[in-house]
């Protein structure tokens, strides 16, 4: 029988070594968390819905916030509440992100105030429901601007700032609509496919940097999305599958901090997204058209 004898002197030395290693590891981890919490998370579309839930969840974790959307009153109320409740720092910028000048304005605001951003969440977006050719072209193009162009510009412009932190994250908000074509939501679904593809590509390009890129693709959430999209009250079948915005926000942040490439909240949404890989496209499009029929 082989036995290993540890003398009292050896044991003390061993315990001291374990203590030292654990302590230094603890100090490194603690330093990392203190450092990242001194930085800011910038969230677009933070005035309501999922963006507001993401802001609240990050504030609960102690992150400082930069909130961006058009509604000044809502942004002001939210930032004051979160400062009071969680003792964080929060600032806001009321701006229409569909304007071409907006992304540069957000960057200038961030740089002028010396906000060190380590988390960029591109959440602002909306859908327009209806047959493609029955809606004004200008409405389509404005939505495309916010859903795609603004996201691209913010990722591009904020990359140099994100590179300055020890650990940074980009979270782009897509939709389960990204996984298939959706008649009556044609451009919305296409814009979210764009976001998913774009996010995966820049994630790969940035893999050897401190920036992790994730894309979340939620299914229906209980927000103002359906009302803004102009969904017909009789076509609200999708609402039966609504998830709560705070539930989606928690899944989103868990996935983002775990550096996941794609995050799909809810088992039904995971199944439907993966089913699109195996089922015939014509069948999927017919089903989607049935859900959102005009």
Ligand X SMILES: NC(=O)c1ccc[n+]([C@@H]2O[C@H](COP(=O)([O-])OP(=O)(O)OC[C@H]3O[C@@H](n4cnc5c(N)ncnc54)[C@H](OP(=O)(O)O)[C@@H]3O)[C@@H](O)[C@H]2O)c1
Residues lying near ligand X in the complex (CB under 6 A): 45-51, 69-71, 74, 96-98, 123-126, 146, 173, 175, 218, 220-221, 223-225, 228
Q: How many whole angstroms separate alpha carbon 214 and alpha carbon 23?
A: 32
| CB-nearer residue toward ligand X: 71 or 105 | 71
Cα-Cα end-to-end distance for the chain: 79
CB of 105 to ligand X, least distance (A): 11
Tell me the residue nearest to ligand X as measured from the CB. 49
| CB-nearer residue toward ligand X: 38 or 181 | 181
CB of 37 to ligand X, least distance (A): 24
CB 52, CB 81: distance < 8 Å? no
Dump strand ranges (E) for the chain: 40-44, 64-69, 90-94, 117-122, 168-173, 211-216, 262-263
CB of 117 to ligand X, least distance (A): 17
| CB-nearer residue toward ligand X: 86 or 126 | 126
Q: How many whole angstroms separate alpha carbon 292 and alpha carbon 285?
A: 11
CB of 12 to ligand X, least distance (A): 57
| CB-nearer residue toward ligand X: 35 or 238 | 238
CB-based burial of residue 181 (10 Å sphere; 0-12 exposed, 13-18 middle, 19+ buried)? middle
Dihedral Cα 231, 54, 259, 262, nearest 10 deg: -10
Q: How many whole angstroms separate alpha carbon 113 and alpha carbon 135?
A: 41
CA 32-248-57 angle, to 5 degrees, is 40
| CB-nearer residue toward ligand X: 224 or 290 | 224
Beta strands 64-69; 40-44: pairing state: parallel
| CB-nearer residue toward ligand X: 69 or 215 | 69
CB of 278 to ligand X, least distance (A): 22
CB of 38 to ligand X, least distance (A): 26
CB of 194 to ligand X, least distance (A): 12
Q: How far is CA 180 from CA 127, 147, 218, in A?
A: 15, 17, 14
| CB-nearer residue toward ligand X: 36 or 48 | 48
Q: How many whole angstroms separate alpha carbon 148 and alpha carbon 155?
A: 11
CB 108, CB 158: distance < 8 Å? no
């Amino acid at each position: 029988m082989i036995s290993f004898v540890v003398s009292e002197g050896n044991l003390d030395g061993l315990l001291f070594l374990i203590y030292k290693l654990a302590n230094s590891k603890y100090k490194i981890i603690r330093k990392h968390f203190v450092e990242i919490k001194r930085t800011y998370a910038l969230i677009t579309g933070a005035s309501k819905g999922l963006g507001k839930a993401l802001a609240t969840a990050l504030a609960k974790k102690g992150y400082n916030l930069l909130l961006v959307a058009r509604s000044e009153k809502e942004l002001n109320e939210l930032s004051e509440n979160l400062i009071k409740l969680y003792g964080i720092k929060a600032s806001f910028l009321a701006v229409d992100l569909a304007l071409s000048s907006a992304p540069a304005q957000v960057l200038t605001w961030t740089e002028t105030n010396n906000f060190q951003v380590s988390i960029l969440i591109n959440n602002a977006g909306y859908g327009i429901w209806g047959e493609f050719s029955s809606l004004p072209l200008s409405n389509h193009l404005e939505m495309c601007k916010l859903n795609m162009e603004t996201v691209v510009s913010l990722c591009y412009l904020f990359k140099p700032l994100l590179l300055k932190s020890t650990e940074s994250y980009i979270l782009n908000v897509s939709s389960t609509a990204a996984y298939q074509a959706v008649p009556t939501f044609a451009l919305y679904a296409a814009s979210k496919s764009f976001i998913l593809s774009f996010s995966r590509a820049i994630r790969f390009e940035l893999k050897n940097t401190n920036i992790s890129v994730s894309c979340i693709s939620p299914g229906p959430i209980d927000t103002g999305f359906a009302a803004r999209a102009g969904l017909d009250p009789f076509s609200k079948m999708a609402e039966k599958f609504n998830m709560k915005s705070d539930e989606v926000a928690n899944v989103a942040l868990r996935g983002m901090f775990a550096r996941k490439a794609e995050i799909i909240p809810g088992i039904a949404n995971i199944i439907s997204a993966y089913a699109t890989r195996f089922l015939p496209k014509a069948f999927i499009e017919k089903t989607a058209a049935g859900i959102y029929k005009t």
